[in-house]
């Protein structure tokens, strides 16, 4: 039983679960816009997410002190290196125009972890984008929205129309609200200088804002030209599911509540999309 738990923890801590979530959202975009799935891009997204997330999460821990790494962190470092090789391999299979957009997101990810800010912007010794007060949730929502909507469509030469723009905003709202249970859970651990949403306005108001954003997330579906009853129903079900997780979130929830269940909603979304549309 301990082995199963360790394996499951590795699955979460190595960012495999979040990478699957990102891939599912990219897949949903391609299905919604009636475009054939480009597996090379999906594989690239999978390995890029693992590489990027592990770089951001563990750069400050690992640095260059390889010999002092705990066993679990060493395994993740090895896995991340293998994922980087996969990332490099599938990079060679992508179109140049796609790589240009991805390069911009790569720079954001790099600056999110690497200290570079001048002293007047310091919140702590990290001195990176992650350390800027209140910025974290907006950066993550932006990167996810561009990665899972714009990049897949650009790669397939799809014209950016009003439906695409609405989908980008929908995806941004979805990721933003999905991040709130994480911020509520981490309130007792986060530095107050991070100024997360629940730190600034409290848990009740955070949940209220989340409800309003989910209503907007659902209503925006009706403004699309290319939508359908099944798609609208799926968006409604996803909004209700995320709403439930948000309302029942609190600082005492175990990490699996958000790190597995909330982060797994895109996987459920994809399954519904494949079977109901």
Contacts of 32 (CB under 8 A, 6+ apart): 167, 226, 231, 273, 277
| Mean pLDDT taken over the chain | 87
Residue with tokens 């125009």: 97
Eight-class DSSP state of 68? G
Q: What percent of the chain has pLDDT over 70?
A: 85
The angle, 0 to 180 degrees and rounded to 10, between the axes of the packed helices 39-62 and 96-113 is 20
Task: Give the per-residue pLDDT at 64.
Answer: 46
Q: Examine the pLDDT at 13 and tell me if it is beyond 70.
A: yes
More confident residue, 17 or 36: 17
Confidence of residue 139 (pLDDT cuts 50, 70, 90): confident
Q: Helices in the chain by DSSP H: which ranges?
A: 2-13, 16-32, 39-62, 71-91, 96-113, 136-145, 151-155, 162-185, 197-201, 203-219, 229-247, 255-256, 265-276
Q: Examine the pLDDT at 45 and tell me if it is beyond 70.
A: yes
Q: Examine the pLDDT at 268 and tell me if it is beyond 90.
A: yes
Q: Does residue 11 contact residue 79 with C-beta atoms inside 8 Å?
A: no
pTM to 2 decimals? Answer: 0.90
Task: Give the per-residue pLDDT at 60.
Answer: 57
d(CA 75, CA 237): 37
Task: Give the per-residue pLDDT at 126.
Answer: 52
Q: What percent of the chain has pLDDT over 90?
A: 60
Tens digit of each residue's pLDDT (9 = 90 or more) over 165-218:
999 999 999 999 999 999 999 887 766 667 788 988 999 999 999 999 999 999
Eight-class DSSP state of 248? T
């Amino acid at each position: 039983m301990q082995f199963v738990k360790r394996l499951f923890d590795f699955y979460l801590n190595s960012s495999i679960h979040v990478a699957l979530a990102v891939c599912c959202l990219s897949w949903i975009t391609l299905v919604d816009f009636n475009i054939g799935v480009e597996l090379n891009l999906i594989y690239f997204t999978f390995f890029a997410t693992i590489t990027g997330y592990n770089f951001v999460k563990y750069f400050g821990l690992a640095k260059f002190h390889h010999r002092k790494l705990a066993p679990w962190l060493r395994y993740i470092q090895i896995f991340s290196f293998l994922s980087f090789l996969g990332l490099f391999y599938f990079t060679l299979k992508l179109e140049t125009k796609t790589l240009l957009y991805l390069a911009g997101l790569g720079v954001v990810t790099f600056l999110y972890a690497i200290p570079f800010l001048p002293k007047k912007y310091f919140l702590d010794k990290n001195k990176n984008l992650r350390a800027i007060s209140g910025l974290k949730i907006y950066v993550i929502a932006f990167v996810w929205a561009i990665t899972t909507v714009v990049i897949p469509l650009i790669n397939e030469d799809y014209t950016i129309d009003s439906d695409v723009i609405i989908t980008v905003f929908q995806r941004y709202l979805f990721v933003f609200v999905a991040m709130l249970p994480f911020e509520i859970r981490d309130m007792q651990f986060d530095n107050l200088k991070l100024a997360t949403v629940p730190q600034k306005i409290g848990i009740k108001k955070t949940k209220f804002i989340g409800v309003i954003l989910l209503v907007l997330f659902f209503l925006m579906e009706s403004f699309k030209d290319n939508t359908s009853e099944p798609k609208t129903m799926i968006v409604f079900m996803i909004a209700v599911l995320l709403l439930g997780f948000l309302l029942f979130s609190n600082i005492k929830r175990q990490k699996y509540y958000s790190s597995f269940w909330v982060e797994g909603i895109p996987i459920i979304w994809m399954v519904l999309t494949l079977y109901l549309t």
